[in-house]
């Protein structure tokens, strides 16, 4: 119980530090109605409320019998997912949204039991569809990266 509370309080302190870092941020231009500062502050605020609840809740969080164990295989999957997301963040600008999503999505699907061909087809189609949804329908510009030559 004490470890759960310490973990929640540690993450709460990290939220506070990140909020202090995000508060003075001002972009030279804004293409969003609320600006670039509102989203991280909103997420940090919601996270802080949940962590505060976890820190003061009266009963400990107990793992139920039907929940999977946090064994070595699960920890390896979590580590690989984290690594893939870091690769996605690193390649997002240079490769562009579609290629970096495909590059990361296929190994992620394989990690959770997907077969090669269906994973490649579905991830490729989803990457293109999400790009079109965000860039065209919602007016949120995403980088094309190496596929920049396809843009008119």
- Report yes or no: 57 and 8 within 8 Å, Cβ to Cβ: no
Res. 66: pLDDT tops 80: no
- pLDDT value of residue 152: 62
CA 123 to chain centre: 17
- pLDDT value of residue 110: 93
- Give the tokens for residue 137: 């329908």
Chain mean pLDDT for the chain: 85
CA 66 to chain centre: 27
Indicate whether 90 and 151 sit together in one domain: yes
Indicate whether 152 and 93 sit together in one domain: yes
Is 123 in a helix, a strand, or coil? helix
Indicate whether 56 and 93 sit together in one domain: no
- Report yes or no: 88 and 130 within 8 Å, Cβ to Cβ: no
Q: How many CA atoms lie within 13 A of 112 on its CB side?
A: 9
The tens digit of pLDDT for each residue in 14-61 reads 999 998 988 887 766 656 666 667 778 888 999 999 999 988 887 766
Tell me how many domains the chain contains: 2
Indicate whether 152 and 86 sit together in one domain: yes
Task: Among 36, 64, 92, give the residue marking a domain's end.
Answer: 64
Indicate whether 94 and 151 sit together in one domain: yes
C-alpha–C-alpha distance, residues 67 and 13, integer Å: 29
The tens digit of pLDDT for each residue in 84-111 reads 999 999 998 889 899 999 999 999 999 9
pTM: 0.63
Q: Would residue 75 count as lying in a domain? A: no
Closest CA to 77 of 108, 105, 101, 100: 108
Indicate whether 56 and 11 sit together in one domain: yes
Q: Tell me the residue range of the domain where 49 lies.
A: 1-64
């Amino acid at each position: 119980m004490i470890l759960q509370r310490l973990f929640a309080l540690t993450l709460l302190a990290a939220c506070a530090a990140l909020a202090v870092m995000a508060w003075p941020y001002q972009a030279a231009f804004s293409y969003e109605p609320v600006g670039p500062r509102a989203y991280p502050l909103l997420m940090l605020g919601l996270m802080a409320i949940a962590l505060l609840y976890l820190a003061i809740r009266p009963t400990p969080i107990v793992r139920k019998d039907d929940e999977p164990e946090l064994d070595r295989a699960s920890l390896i999957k979590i580590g690989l997912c984290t690594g893939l997301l870091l690769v996605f963040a690193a390649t997002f600008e240079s490769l562009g949204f579609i290629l970096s999503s495909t590059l990361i999505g296929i190994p992620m699907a394989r990690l959770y039991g997907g077969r090669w061909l269906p994973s490649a087809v579905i991830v490729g189609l989803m990457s293109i569809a999400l790009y079109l949804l965000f860039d065209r329908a919602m007016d949120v510009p995403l980088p094309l990266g190496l596929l920049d030559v396809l843009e008119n």
